[in-house]
């Protein structure tokens, strides 16, 4: 009998449920080489987007796209927790046609995309990253492993307004998702006790259901 060939696995695409503030992390398969991402800063920024109402949500995707030499688009989507944990997850890809990228934007943004300035996009991503690090939380491993950090300009390039607020009511707010197990929740709370101190952070247990990313 001839051998059956396994069906090729499609790259993971972001599927965002704006009801849920925490992503479920899964392995990412790219349909393009990482070389373009390693050298992403040599390409001009094509545009930046987020979801409408991001100021009130506490967590938002930020999409930064760059135009490759051949006119196609590479991009990174950062799932940003402004309240506590910083960069929760990332999704990157390259070699999208303009049409394909524009068609993907509503999915990447969870709803109708809202174009934002390059300066604001960088302020949200870097500000959340720095805020999270103050309390002992590093960005998702794919931020550097998949060169999503290279899709951003260096942090000193764009001036900041300092109007983007991080935390909630002056303190970190941790809201675990349905896929955060007890061990992970306990570890995060212990980290906050060590870095912020007891009584100096908020947390919500049992918030929402669903998923940000699917396979």
What confidence tens digit (pLDDT) does each residue in 186-206 have?
999 999 999 999 999 999 876
**Is residue 133 one of the residues assigned to a domain?**
yes
Give the pLDDT confidence score for residue 213 in this predicted structure. 34
CA angle 149, 151, 156 (to 5 degrees): 70
In a domain, residue 148? The reply is yes
Select from 134, 150, 167 the last residue of a domain: 167
CA distance 174 to 154: 28
User: Residue 97 belongs to what domain range?
Assistant: 34-167
Do the domain assignments include residue 13? no
Which pTM value belongs to this model? 0.81
Q: Where is mean pLDDT largest: 10-19, 22-31, 75-84, 204-213?
A: 75-84
Region 70-83: mean pLDDT is 96
Flag whether pLDDT at 26 surpasses 60: no
60 and 145 co-located in one domain: yes
Indicate if 45 and 133 belong to the same structural domain. Answer: yes
Cα→Cα distances 21→110, 123, 135, 148, Å = 12, 20, 18, 21
CA angle in degrees (0–180, nearest 5) for 126-127-133: 90
Residue 154 and residue 206 in one domain: no
Residue 183 resides in a domain: yes
Q: Decide if 94 is inside a domain.
A: yes
b/e for 106-127, b at 16 or more Cβ within 10 A? eebbbeebeebeeebbbbbbbb
Give the per-residue pLDDT at 9.
Answer: 43
pLDDT grade for 210, boundaries at 50, 70 and 90? very low
Q: Check whether 13 has a pLDDT greater than 60.
A: no
Residue 97 lies in a domain: yes
Q: What percent of the chain has pLDDT over 90?
A: 68
The confidence score (pLDDT) of residue 36 equals 87
* Residues facing residue 64 across a β-bridge: 48, 76
**Per-residue confidence (pLDDT) for residue 201, from 0 to 100:** 95
* Residue 211: pLDDT band with limits 50, 70, 90: very low
d(CA 113, CA 101): 12
pLDDT in tens, 99-146: 999 999 999 988 889 999 999 999 999 999 999 999 999 999 999 999
Residue 109, phi-psi category: left (phi > 0), alpha (psi -120 to 50), beta (remainder): alpha
Mark whether 101 and 185 lie in a shared domain. no
With 50 as the cut, is the pLDDT of residue 19 above it? Answer: no
């Amino acid at each position: 009998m001839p051998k059956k060939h396994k069906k090729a696995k499609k790259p993971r695409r972001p599927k965002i449920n704006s009801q849920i503030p925490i992503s479920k992390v899964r392995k990412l398969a790219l349909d393009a080489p990482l070389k373009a991402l390693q050298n992403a800063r040599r390409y001009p920024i094509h545009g930046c987007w987020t979801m409408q109402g991001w100021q009130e949500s506490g967590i938002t995707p930020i999409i930064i796209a760059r135009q490759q030499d051949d006119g196609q688009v590479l991009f990174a989507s950062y799932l940003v927790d402004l309240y506590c944990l910083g960069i929760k997850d990332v999704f990157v890809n390259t070699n999208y046609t303009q049409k394909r990228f524009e068609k993907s934007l509503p999915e990447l943004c969870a709803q109708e995309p809202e174009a934002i300035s390059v300066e604001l996009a960088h302020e949200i991503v870097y500000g959340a990253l720095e805020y999270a690090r103050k309390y002992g939380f590093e960005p998702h491993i794919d931020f550097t492993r998949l060169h999503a950090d290279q899709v951003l300009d260096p942090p000193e390039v764009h001036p900041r307004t300092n109007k983007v607020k991080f935390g909630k009511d002056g303190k970190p707010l941790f809201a675990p998702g349905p896929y955060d197990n007890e061990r992970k929740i306990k570890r995060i709370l212990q980290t906050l006790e060590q870095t912020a101190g007891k009584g100096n952070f908020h947390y919500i247990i049992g918030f929402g259901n669903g998923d940000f990313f699917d396979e």
